[in-house]
């Protein structure tokens, strides 16, 4: 931008500066107008940069929402967030936020896969991202944050004193089969072992599970891992043969021997039991290494205590 005219300029300088200054100002205005006209404020582009939140209607398997401003076409990268009306009941569900219902998938390596029942629920919120290449090019939504779908019966350890959501303390408690039906199905030892197993059996009295065993009982007994080490089930390998799944095993030392050396000494005459050199009176005195009782109440390695939980 040229210098503007100044009161101290001569008339010729003033006029020349004014001419070039206003010419440049006009050019700047024209360029600014052209730049403004080239900017596309398409609402879809704006919404694609953020996860737009909306109130969901419909059902858990057919989520419906209306965005503002309205969406008339989906583009890859569009993200939306909502609390679904309910959990999805199976592997087929759709999401429609204005441009038609599209199937919902979840991310998996190397590609997206169908969702599973309960991957999202009505507690939310959950986020979805549109990908045009899904569903054979018809487009679909990727569920970005599915509920942790670990199988029931998995043992996990936590650096906290309370069980996280979806987990119970593995403390030997008897819990309701009706409430934790998936866990019951996963850890039940079977009718044949219900009378002898230390956990995974069914009972009728949660306060006295071991004395109320019943294959039709309303409660399932959890493993009690408090203060215990874990060992992989032998499962026919033969390293720890004869073990039943979920069975307990006491501590034990491997069979071994301690080497001991002895030295024989002659002893001669003396007073008050004091040894003095002399002729042997027959026999010898054995002196050597021997062991004394030491240790605690169990055999163990160094440990760090964590809270053991079981998924349901």
The confidence score (pLDDT) of residue 202 equals 98
Highest mean pLDDT among 27-31, 76-80, 143-147: 76-80
- Whether 135 maps to a domain, the answer reads yes
- Looking at the 3D structure of the chain, how many domains does it have? 2
Residue 20 has pLDDT above 90, yes or no: no
Domain that holds residue 195: 155-221
Instruction: Say if residue 103 is in the same domain as residue 69.
Output: yes
- Whether 31 maps to a domain, the answer reads no
- Whether 103 maps to a domain, the answer reads yes
pLDDT tens-digit map of 227-241: 888 877 787 878 788
- Whether 172 maps to a domain, the answer reads yes
User: Of 221, 245, 275, which residue sits at a domain end?
Assistant: 221
Backbone angles phi, psi at 58, to 5 degrees: 80, -145
Question: Which residue, among 41, 136, 126, 130, has the nearest Cα to 87 in the 3D structure?
Answer: 126
pLDDT tens-digit map of 299-309: 777 888 999 99
The confidence score (pLDDT) of residue 63 equals 93
Q: In terms of pLDDT, which residue wins out, 242 or 160? A: 160
Question: Which residue, among 153, 174, 167, has the nearest Cα to 219 in the 3D structure?
Answer: 174
- Whether 29 maps to a domain, the answer reads no
Instruction: Say if residue 68 is in the same domain as residue 132.
Output: yes
- Scanning the structure block, which residue is given the tokens 């582009």? 45
pLDDT band at 123 (very low <50, low <70, confident <90, very high): confident
Instruction: Say if residue 75 is in the same domain as residue 116.
Output: yes
Q: Are 214 and 191 in contact (CB under 8 A)?
A: no
The confidence score (pLDDT) of residue 228 equals 86
- Whether 234 maps to a domain, the answer reads no
pLDDT tens-digit map of 178-222: 988 889 999 999 999 999 999 999 999 999 999 999 999 999 999
Instruction: Say if residue 135 is in the same domain as residue 159.
Output: no
Question: Which residue, among 224, 221, 219, has the nearest Cα to 176 in the 3D structure?
Answer: 219
Q: Are 186 and 220 in contact (CB under 8 A)?
A: no
Instruction: Say if residue 74 is in the same domain as residue 130.
Output: yes
129 membership: H or E segment, kind and range: strand 126-131
Residue 56 has pLDDT above 80, yes or no: yes
Q: Are 103 and 93 in contact (CB under 8 A)?
A: yes
Residue 25 forms beta bridges with which residues? Answer: none
- Whether 242 maps to a domain, the answer reads no
User: Of 75, 110, 143, which residue sits at a domain end?
Assistant: 143
The number of beta carbons lying within 10 Å of the beta carbon of residue 251 is 9
CA 141 to chain centre: 23
- Whether 269 maps to a domain, the answer reads no
Instruction: Say if residue 57 is in the same domain as residue 128.
Output: yes
pTM above 0.85, yes or no: no
Backbone angles phi, psi at 36, to 5 degrees: -65, -40
- Give the residue-averaged pLDDT of 138-147: 86
The confidence score (pLDDT) of residue 15 equals 66
User: Of 221, 242, 276, which residue sits at a domain end?
Assistant: 221
Round to whole Å and give the CA distance between 234 and 214.
27
């Amino acid at each position: 931008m040229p210098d503007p005219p100044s009161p101290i300029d001569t008339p010729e300088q003033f006029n020349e500066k004014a001419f070039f200054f206003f010419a440049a100002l006009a050019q700047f205005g024209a360029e600014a107008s052209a730049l403004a006209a080239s900017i596309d404020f398409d609402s879809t582009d704006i919404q694609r940069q953020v996860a737009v939140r909306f109130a969901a209607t419909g059902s858990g398997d057919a989520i419906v929402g209306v965005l503002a401003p309205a969406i008339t076409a989906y583009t890859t990268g569009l993200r939306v967030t909502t609390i679904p009306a309910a959990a999805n009941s199976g592997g087929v569900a759709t999401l429609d936020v204005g441009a038609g219902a599209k199937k919902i998938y979840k991310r998996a390596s190397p590609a997206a896969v169908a969702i599973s029942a309960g991957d999202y629920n009505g507690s939310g919120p959950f986020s979805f991202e549109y990908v045009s290449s899904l569903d054979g090019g018809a487009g679909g939504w990727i569920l970005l944050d599915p509920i942790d779908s670990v199988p029931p019966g998995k043992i996990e350890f936590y650096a906290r004193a309370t069980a996280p959501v979806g987990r119970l303390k593995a403390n030997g408690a008897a819990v309701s089969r009706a409430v934790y039906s998936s866990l019951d199905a996963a850890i039940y030892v079977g009718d044949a072992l219900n009378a002898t197993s230390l956990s995974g059996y069914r009972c009728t009295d949660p306060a006295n599970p071991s004395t109320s065993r019943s294959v039709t009982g309303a409660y399932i007994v959890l493993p009690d891992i408090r203060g215990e080490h874990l060992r992989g089930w032998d499962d026919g390998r033969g390293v720890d043969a004869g073990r039943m799944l979920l069975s307990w095993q006491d501590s034990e030392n491997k069979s071994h021997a301690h080497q001991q050396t002895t030295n024989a000494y002659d002893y001669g005459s003396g007073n008050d039991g004091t040894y003095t050199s002399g002729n042997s009176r027959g026999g010898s005195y054995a002196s050597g290494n021997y062991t004394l009782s030491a240790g605690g109440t169990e055999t163990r390695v160094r440990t760090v205590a964590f809270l053991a939980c079981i998924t349901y």
